[in-house]
Amino acid sequence: MSHQFDSTVLREYDIRGIIGETLGPDDARAIGRGFATLLREAGGSKVAVGYDGRVSSPVLEHALIEGLTSGGCDVVRVGMGPTPMLYYAEASAEDVDGGIQITGSHNPANYNGFKMVFQGRPFFGADILKIGELAETGNWSNGTGTVETRDIMDAYIDRLLTALDGIPVEQLSGIKVAWDAGNGAAGPALEKLVARLPGEHHVLFAEVDGNFPNHHPDPTVPENLNDLQNIVSVQHLNLGIAFDGDGDRIGAIDGEGRIIWGDQLLMIYAEDLLNRRKGATIIADVKASRALFDHVAACGGNGVMWKTGHSLIKSKMKETGAPLAGEMSGHVFFADDYYGYDDALYAGLRLLAASARLGKSVTQLRGEMPNMLNTPEMRFQVDESRKFAAIDEVKERLADSPDDVNGTDGVRVTNQDGWWLLRASNTQDVLVARAESDTQEGLDRLMAQIDEQLRLSGLERGPQAGH
């Protein structure tokens, strides 16, 4: 027996595809067989399995479990819930050695996929390619694993609530918050969570519906926050918090409806954390604002710029011992009093906690941030065979540049106007560009530099590519 995956399915950070076209039960079974083989080789034997609210998820769960058990692993079914609940199952149970969440994350309703954790570390890149190699040869382990079901939702919510430890209830009793689950997998956990919080809470779209009838569950897209902004305005609330389809990415707005972007959230979390842990390392991806790194330094921390991608950031955190990291995309990782994975429900509570500890409303914290002018993330189609080569060409041309050129992930160039970034996506055939300045003139000059570099590589900032 062997299995061939569609060439588009095995990605850098996860496995994902279009149901009925590039991904189906046979793929899920092969993923289970491969994961079981690798885990048993590493001395593990038990895997937690969870799934999100997509229509296709239960079928994939069934096939995945068949693959895991026939590969000789025992399975703990934790049922439907957000991805971080699956991470919690893996991190908190001593008898569990790995975890797989079936989720299409923030992709359209006809997508699905798998996020994996292996003996406490992210499973990505070469690990995922190994699943493909094992499938091709059919060189899998054999066995007959057992299946048990564990209801961990309440224990997970208990653990989330430790984010508010040490904060007097009366300090939070006046807070008014809107929460938007976007019909994603975080809905049921969110309802249970807010029922136990002090203050006034309004929950939108908590009913899980894999067709996402109200808006697409991606909180990095401004129009997906319209419902949240509306209820915050009408009900005169203090802030709003939104989640992506599987609850590992957070979006937020303040009491005036202003979006608090991923790097701005990290500024708030960093200030709060550095009050307690002076000199700590805070990691952010290369798309983050200069204002964040300046703020971390001003608060006595050590800001580290790293590659985009939740698996890469988690690995860097382990390497540096950083207690906090985040990405522009809304993945935030807490390893001070939590497990170091991205959990948007926990991040939501940490935002309330930070506001309470800093003695400032979220609106005030957002209002004190410098007003930088930045472009949205611009993504444009480039042939797969050209995308990394083009970045190398840009690096070569800028080797003697008087500007500060950072090659951590693509090219990030800093000069007196601000900075611009050009990087190749690890998951799509696109280049990603972004720029930031204090002035419109500066921003225009930075954009001209990006266009010039693209032109010299025979490319142009043409039609924008979607996610």
- Determine the pLDDT at residue 106: 81
Answer whether 15-155 and 174-367 agree in fold.
yes
- Domain spanning 174-367 has what CATH number? 3.40.120.10
State the burial class of residue 143 (Cβ atoms within 10 Å of its Cβ: 0-12, 13-18, 19+).
middle
Q: Worst-scoring range by mean pLDDT, 138-147, 161-170, 378-387?
A: 378-387
Q: How far apart are CA 353 and CA 168, in angstroms?
A: 10
Please, are residues 348 and 432 in contact by the beta-carbon 8 Å criterion?
Answer: no
Residues annotated as part of the active site: 105
Architecture (CATH level 2) of domain 15-155: 3-Layer(aba) Sandwich (3.40)
Residues ≥6 apart with Cβ < 8 Å to 58: 51
Apex CA 120: angle with CA 115 and CA 123, to 5°? 35
Q: Which of 302, 438, 420 is nearest to 370 (CA)?
A: 438
Write out pLDDT tens, residues 261-319: 999 999 999 999 999 999 999 999 999 999 999 999 999 999 999 999 888 899 899 99
Architecture (CATH level 2) of domain 373-456: 2-Layer Sandwich (3.30)
What's this model's pTM, rounded to 2 decimal places?
0.95
Domain ranges of the chain: 15-155, 174-367, 373-456
HSE (CB half, 13 Å, CA atoms) of 358?
24
pLDDT band at 464 (very low <50, low <70, confident <90, very high): low
Residue 108 clears pLDDT 90, i.e. is over it? no
Q: How far apart are CA 17 and CA 24, in angstroms?
A: 9
Q: Mean pLDDT throughout 430-447?
A: 95
- Give 370-390 as a DSSP string: ---EEPPPEEEE--HHHHHHH
Q: How far apart are CA 256 and CA 229, in angstroms?
A: 8
HSE (CB half, 13 Å, CA atoms) of 176?
10
